[in-house]
Structure 1
Amino acid sequence: MSSCPLLPKSLFASGVVLLLVGCGAPTEEEWESLESEVTTSEAALLPACPASPELSEVVEHACVHAENGPFQPVTAAALGAPVLVDVSTPHTTYKLTLPSSTQSWGWAGRVSFLPDASGEFAFMLSRDRGLRIYDAATGVEVARECRYQVPANVCGALKTAIVADLQADTEYHLEFQALLSRNASFSLLIEEAAHHPHAG
């Protein structure tokens, strides 16, 4: 067991660097704890999605595709590299693999998403850690509205849904990270959660 203590969640990024540089390679238990802490921190940053029949239906529908496909394997672009992988096809389970991070630690990558309608979208994952969303043209991070923990009795193939309000015909970059190799490969499904009404 490494002699270096784990740092508080608020110092997560600095803690990882100190562990790697000052203490040698962290143990598997320390990586597990760090991954658990950052996942908990992510969850705390977003409010829970309010219960709604619409969101439940979206998750139940997505679960059918998570279990039965169609499946499409993709490898995310490394952070800082051109983003050429597109995950815009609805009703598709993307089997996403993150490349090893060259900029920091663990695994990290981005994929492209281009919605064909404006409204709320649910980004459903087979892991607990979520994602960050950026406007591809400006690099500005897009606010995520809420997080939904998928009950195991509703869908065993999905664990988390992140809801965000996006604009049609705007390219977004979805960024994912992982500290543990088993969290660097996971399923991603994106479905419309709610449409914006048309003006006029």
Structure 2
Amino acid sequence: MKNLFKKSLLASGVALLLTGCGSTTEAEPQESSLEAREDTLLSACAEPEASELIEVAEHACVHGDYGPFEAVTAAPLGTYPFVDVSVPHIAYNITLPAHGYGWGGAVNFMPEESGEYAFLLSRQRGLRIFNGTTEVARECRIQVPEEACGSLRTAVVADLEAGVEYRLEFKAIAQRNSQFTLVIEEAAHDHVE
């Protein structure tokens, strides 16, 4: 009991010292992880792909606003995700489980056709795509203009193969990012003649 009192007193003293030296407002945790920095380095989509993605976002926005919706809880990171988000034209309301010092989880996606897919999120960042243990390159991203869609904030494009099961991983440091909407739309097709 005596040790607990000393630790509490020490923690209070440190908090007062820090408050005296800095801001008195409590800051929201920043998404400053390596993943967040990688997302900011992901190049913006160039024209004409950006214009095409805005059209895809406008279509996806209908689902983001009006559904149909499906609420899912992602599997904890490091486990096999049984949650599948492969049904087209569905807005998946994803909840991430607590993980370490934040939240993180994974879901599965299996495209029916090969081609480019747009992963549209109601948050700014935090999507990684894996084929087994190999991370799939994300080609580019756009910030969805609010006038095009109020419910979806960003779109990330990746080229995927039909019939392959991909693992979509999401992480969040701030609790406000642990629940979000995901809509997946085809951005382009690989046409095989």
TM exceeding 0.5: yes
1:160 aligned partner:
154
C-alpha separation in 2, matches of 1:105 and 1:121: 31
2:177 aligned partner:
183
Structure 1 residues 169, 40: CA separation in 2 closer, same or farther (over 3 Å shift)?
Answer: closer
C-alpha separation in 2, matches of 1:84 and 1:28: 38
Find the partner of 1:94 among 69, 92, 102. 92
Query: How many residues are treated as equivalent by the alignment?
Result: 171
Is contact 2:126-2:172 (8 Å) kept? no
1:16 aligned partner:
none
Structure 1 residues 66, 30: CA separation in 2 closer, same or farther (over 3 Å shift)?
Answer: closer
Is contact 1:49-1:146 (8 Å) kept? yes
3-state SS in 1 of match to 2:185: strand
2:10 aligned partner:
none
Please state how far the C-alpha of 1:28 moved relative to its aligned partner. Answer: 4.9
C-alpha separation in 2, matches of 1:28 and 1:176: 26
Normalising to structure 1: TM-score of the pair?
A: 0.79
Normalising to structure 2: TM-score of the pair?
A: 0.82
3-state SS in 2 of match to 1:42: helix
Q: Does 1:192 align with 2:186?
A: yes
Please state how far the C-alpha of 1:130 moved relative to its aligned partner. Answer: 3.1
3-state SS in 2 of match to 1:61: helix
Moved beyond 4 Å, runs of 4+ = 36-40
Please state how far the C-alpha of 1:35 moved relative to its aligned partner. Answer: 1.6
Is contact 1:121-1:163 (8 Å) kept? yes
Superposition map of 1:37-48 within 5 A: 41-48=37-44
Which has the higher Rg, Structure 1 or Structure 2?
A: 2
Greater share of residues in strand: 2
The Cα RMSD (Å) is 2.1
C-alpha separation in 2, matches of 1:28 and 1:112: 37
C-alpha separation in 2, matches of 1:40 and 1:172: 21
What's the CA shift string for 1:103-134, capped at 9, x where partnerless? x3200000000000000000000001130000
Name the amino acid aligned to 1:69.
G
Please state how far the C-alpha of 1:60 moved relative to its aligned partner. Answer: 0.5
Superposition map of 1:6-17 within 5 A: none
What's the CA shift string for 1:45-70, capped at 9, x where partnerless? 21101233422211100001100000
Structure 1 residues 70, 39: CA separation in 2 closer, same or farther (over 3 Å shift)?
Answer: same
C-alpha separation in 1, matches of 2:167 and 2:26: 31
Structure 1 residues 162, 28: CA separation in 2 closer, same or farther (over 3 Å shift)?
Answer: farther
C-alpha separation in 1, matches of 2:91 and 2:121: 10
3-state SS in 1 of match to 2:37: helix
Please state how far the C-alpha of 1:40 moved relative to its aligned partner. Answer: 5.8
| Structure 2 unpaired stretches of 5+ | 1-14, 19-24
2:123 aligned partner:
127
Find the partner of 1:116 among 112, 115, 138. 112
Name the amino acid aligned to 1:141.
E
C-alpha separation in 2, matches of 1:38 and 1:151: 26
Please state how far the C-alpha of 1:150 moved relative to its aligned partner. Answer: 0.4
